[in-house]
Structure 1
Amino acid sequence: MTTAVQFAPSTRTADVTDEDFLADFHHTTVYGATEAGGIDRQAGTPEHGAVRAWFRERAAALGMTVTVDGIGNQYATFTWIDDEPGVLIGSHLDSQPLGGRFDGTYGVIAALHAAARVNDEVRAGRLTPTHNLTVVDWFNEEGARFAPSIMGSSVMVGLLDREKALATTDPAGVTVKEALESIDCLGTDPAPEVAAYAEIHIEQGRILEREQTTVGAVTQSWYTQKLLVAVRGEQSHTGATIMSDRHDALVAASRIVLFTEDVVENFEPEKIVTSVGQFTVHPNSPIVVPREVDLVIDLRASKKQDVLDARDILRRQIADLAVERGIRIDVEDYDIRDIQHYPVDGVELTEKAAADAGVSCMRIETMAGHDSVAVNRIAPSVMVFIPSVDGVSHCEREFSTDADMVAGVTAFTQIVRRLVTGALDGTTPGEPFAGSDV
């Protein structure tokens, strides 16, 4: 896609009812639908391209102008004032493999409808904006096909080099650039100048559900980092090599997985999470003792020191394991993200908006990463949660009720009304990431 291929705004009156919102949201589930009720819509796939094309068409029908930047982020804009920085709202439409239909998608469709409602108020003369309004669909937030995650927003705010991102390959060797071209989403339009950002998302945890609260006002992100671990043993025959002569990389790697789960016992409950989400065995032959296993350890905590302490414990355990098993294990720090504090003014704005919408609200931290964490680097950002049933996410069972989604849109619309009239003008953005890798 190039600048010349843009969607002109329609003069049609926006559909802004709760029923229309739900119809749009549930329609998106047909793109990449799975048999178990989830979606598989990884970045740059045909399914992702199809839902992104629908977004462009829907935004144009609501009266918005759509542009696409050089890393595939899509922007749908209501322009009321010439040459004025805009308020940016939105999320992402890509998913994890066999993922849930709410993660990211809810935030995009909620933003689209909140923007349409605010535009109707502006056109009716009930609201006088000081900023324009843009809904964004970020590219590759999930990072499932192309690492790292939060790619589109990180490029947009200058945390990740665009050319490096475009050259990133998936496991099959396809580059981000090639994937974007294949779905007609590699644009040349400039990204908008951002006065403030807001994102609404499912919680992906069970705190709101447990506290029977409708809206979460996010105060900070968790400190996170990954460890890239390469376990290097020796390849041998599974039948002909006696047990005492083996240097099995898989057995050692399995011990590391258990170390990663057990390390949380050293810390306060529910304040740290750990996992091994990626695990690759070489040569992965049924009659060969594995020579190498590559895995990624993910560490996240409310306190930075807890992550650092867990990292040190694991590195000591891994070093001892290498000696015990007579193998080599390389450990590399990767993807370090410092705690981001969302502006207090934005948290209070969310609380006031929830009160005006007649819904309950509480302050909450985000354990997961979101595009707002990146954008908060350059513009004051607001992050809002709605409940997730059973706290389940990144799987097909992920679920939020229609009632909670609608209540979230109502509260989010109140937030957007305040932002376009300058509620966070002069507010300082949050703190930057600790490292350059995002």
Structure 2
Amino acid sequence: MSPSRRPTTFELTDDRFLADFRSMSAHGATAAGGVHREAGTPADTANRHWFHGLLEGYGATVVYDDIGNQFGLWELVPGQPYVLLGSHLDSQPYGGRFDGAYGVLCGAHACARLAAGVRSGELNAPRHNVAVVNWFNEEGSRFKPSMMGSSVFTGKSTAADMLAVTDADGVTVREALDGAELPGPTDVPLSQFSSYAEIHIEQGKDMDEKGYTIGVVEKTWGARKYQLTVHGFQSHTGSTLLEDRQDALYGAASIITSIREIGDKYTTPENPLVTSCGQLTVVPNSPVVVARGAELLVDLRCGQESTLQAADDEFRAALHDIEDRANVRIELRGSHAWEEQSYTPEGVTLAESIAEHLGLPAVRTRTRAGHDSTNVKDVLPTVMLFVPSYQGISHNELEFTEDSDMVAGLSMFTETLKALATTRPGTDDVEGVSA
């Protein structure tokens, strides 16, 4: 659809949303029903081009900032700031098609519905403009760290530093973005926006098991994420005695075992601690060679800061013991952490009132996973919402959310946008979330 032929509210149906979601899911589609769409890859680039066209067809102006964040802007009240909705379109390797992408498409449809309603006179002129964003490299699987685009947008890192980051093959973020052949960067300042909202699958099983349709996120879990290198000495597995070995793989395995034991030690039914090793690279990774090096990524996450800190302290102490036992040197090459924090209280109250008005079963919850809203909530009033995820499966091709939950979330997100951006006819004057 060309920009001159914009859809009406009658045309922006739930079925159309689901059809757009199926179209989007074809980019990087895997045989098992997921997507393989890491940031800056051909599949991600194809999806960005597709989304660019979708946004223009729905009446938005599309721009990109220095780090590749993709914005769709609907200017309805010239000179006023924008309410921003969004999430991310990139995925983990062989990940699910809902994670992130559902929220971006929800944002696009919510904005298009509001814009169509204003043009038709069904809605009063809003106080704010509306926008959607596809944050670059939220997953952090190809380029580290994760939540890269929102980190630059919020000033927590610089575009220059992030553009210089390389993947495992030495390709920089800048090179990946240049290869996407999308329009050049535009200045998109934070001051242009008044508030932010994000909707996402829960990535947990609580809502699915308990029958809730909407999760209203009130807090984040805290997290500690580490990039570690274990330095050993390469030698022959058959001829090198155990007491003479400096086995980097043994050191890495000890780290993995230690962090799991710490998780088991500190977790309780009321206060779980989750610990993981998500990536391990061994050098030279040969069957008859004692490894000279190993790189691994580990993380600890918990909803109680005191427990997280105690576990983190014990983990750091364990690293010294592992160095002695395995006769290796462990180098901490990078870390990424965030504390347990609250979302905008007025946003929580607003979301709960909207869910009640729509008759959607809702529950206050916390997010265990990191999201771009984790960054944005520190600089803009933010609403964070969940829809159920079947059995909590995520970062997996089997990730699944029912169509009925997807369209309920779209209705919830659309009404949230209206409350943040406009006064609805026949209701009280709704200012939305205050800073």
In structure 2, the residue corresponding to 1:330 is in which secondary structure?
Answer: strand
Query: For the structure 1 residues 381 and 319, does the alpha-carbon distance in structure 2 shift closer, same or farther, using more than 3 Å as the test?
Result: same
Higher mean alpha-carbon deviation, 221-230 vs 332-341, is at 332-341
- CA contact 1:10–1:60 (8 Å) conserved in 2: no
Residue matched to 2:5: 11
**Contact 2:88–2:101 (Cα < 8 Å) also in 1:** yes
1:360-410: per-residue Cα shift (whole Å, max 9, x none)?
111000011111111112110110000000101011111111111011101
Q: What residue is the counterpart of 2:210 in the other structure?
A: 211
Correspondence 1:274-313 to 2 at 5 A: 274-313=275-314
Aligned to 1:348: 349
- Please tell me whether the aligned partners of residues 38 and 93 of structure 2 are also in contact (alpha carbons under 8 angstroms): yes
CA distance in 2: counterparts of 1:374 and 1:322, whole angstroms:
35
For residues 153 and 185 of structure 1, the distance between their equivalents in structure 2, rounded to whole angstroms, comes to 19
Residue 83 of structure 2: SS of its match in structure 1?
strand
Structure 2 partner of 1:49: 45
Q: Which amino acid aligns with 1:188?
A: P
Identity %: 44
Q: Residue 3 of structure 1 corresponds to which residue in structure 2?
A: none
In 1, distance between residues paired with 2:216 and 2:135?
A: 22
For the residues of structure 2 that align with 1:322 and 1:127, how far apart are their CA atoms? Answer: 65
Q: Which residue of the partner structure matches residue 137 of structure 1?
A: 134
Task: Give the Å deviation of 1:120.
Answer: 2.0
- Equivalent residues of 2:346, 2:433 under 8 A apart: no
Q: Where does 1:151-166 land on structure 2 (aligned, <5 Å)?
A: 151-166=148-163
TM-score by length of 1: 0.92
Work out whether residues 29 and 101 of structure 1, in 8 Å CA contact, stay in contact via their aligned partners in 2: yes
CA displacement at 1:353 relative to structure 2: 1.3
Deviation at 1:426, TM superposition (A): 6.9
Match of 1:21 among 6, 14, 17: 17
Render the CA deviation track for 1:151-197: whole Å, top value 9, x for unaligned: 11111111110111111111111111110111123632121511000
1:228 deviates by 2.8
Query: What are the residue-to-residue correspondences of 1:350-365 with 2, within 5 Å?
Result: 350-365=351-366
SS of equivalent to 1:158? coil
How do residues 314-333 of structure 1 correspond to structure 2 at under 5 angstroms? 314-331=315-332
Query: What code does the residue aligned with 1:173 have?
Result: G
Q: Which residue of 2 aligns with 1:202?
A: 201
Q: Residue 420 in 1 paired to residue 421 in 2?
A: yes
Matched with 2:74 is 78
Under a length normalisation based on structure 2, what TM-score does the superposition of the two structures give?
0.93
Deviates more, 1:91-100 or 1:262-271: 262-271
Partner of 1:435: none
By how many angstroms is 1:8 displaced? 8.1
* 1:96-107 superposed matches below 5 A: 96-107=92-103
Could you say which residue in structure 2 is the equivalent of 1:366? 367
CA distance in 2, matches of 1:170, 1:331: 19
SS at match of 2:59: coil
Does the 8 Å CA contact 2:350/2:432 hold for their aligned counterparts? no
Choose which of 167, 171, 177 in structure 2 pairs with 1:170: 167
Question: Which residue does 1:230 correspond to in 2?
Answer: 229
Equivalent position SS for 1:76: strand
Q: Which residue of 1 aligns with 2:427?
A: none
> Is it true that 1:250 corresponds to 2:246 in the alignment?
no
Asked if structure 1 preserves the Cα contact closer than 8 Å seen for 2:247 and 2:327, the reply is no
Q: Does 1:241 align with 2:240?
A: yes
RMSD (Å), alpha carbons? 1.7
User: What's the offset of the Cα at 1:358?
Assistant: 1.8
Deviation at residue 243 of structure 1 after TM alignment: 3.0
Give 1:424 shift. Answer: 5.7
> Is the contact made by 1:219 and 1:347 (CA closer than 8 Å) also made in structure 2?
yes
Match of 2:113 in 1: 117
1:183 to 2:177 alignment: no
Distance 1:247 1:134 in 2: 55
Q: Which moved more, 1:304-313 or 1:378-387?
A: 304-313
CA offsets, 1:21-80, max 9 Å, x none? 000011111100111111000111111111111111111111111111111111111111
Q: Is the 8 A contact 2:86 2:197 kept in 1?
A: yes
Letter in 2 for 1:339: E
Partner Cα distance (2:65, 2:431) in 1 = 25
Assess, with a 3 A threshold, how the Cα gap between structure 1 residues 186 and 376 changes in structure 2: closer, same or farther. Answer: farther
Structure 1: distance between partners of 2:154 and 2:91? 22
For residues 50 and 332 of structure 1, the distance between their equivalents in structure 2, rounded to whole angstroms, comes to: 33
Flag the 1:186–1:394 CA change in 2: closer, same or farther, 3 A.
farther
Whether the 8 Å contact between 1:228 and 1:294 is mirrored in structure 2 is: yes
Does 2:60 align with 1:64? yes
Instruction: Determine helix, strand or coil for the equivalent of 1:146.
Output: coil
State which drifts further: 81-90 or 258-267. 258-267
How many angstroms apart in 2 are the aligned matches of 1:90 and 1:427? 19
Task: Classify the secondary structure of the residue corresponding to 2:30.
Answer: coil
| 1:242 CA displacement | 2.7
Mind listing any 5+ residue stretches in structure 1 that lack a counterpart?
1-6, 429-438
Which 10-residue stretch deviates more, 416-425 or 383-392? Answer: 416-425
**Equivalent position SS for 1:32:** coil
Aligned to 1:397: 398
TM-superposed CA distance for 1:421, in Å, is: 2.3
Answer yes or no: is the 8 Å Cα contact 1:230–1:329 preserved in 2: yes
Which amino acid in structure 2 is aligned with residue 215 of structure 1?
I
Paired AA for residue 227 in structure 1 = Y
1:330 deviates by 3.1
Q: Say whether the 8 Å CA contact 1:180–1:186 is kept in structure 2.
A: no
The residue that corresponds to 1:272 in the other structure is: 273
Instruction: Report the CA distance shift for 1:266/1:183 in structure 2 as closer, same or farther (over 3 A).
Output: same
Give the Cα separation in 2 of the matches to 1:328 and 1:206: 39
Q: Distance in 1 between matches of 2:142 and 2:433?
A: 38
Contact 2:203 2:389 (8 Å CA) reproduced: yes
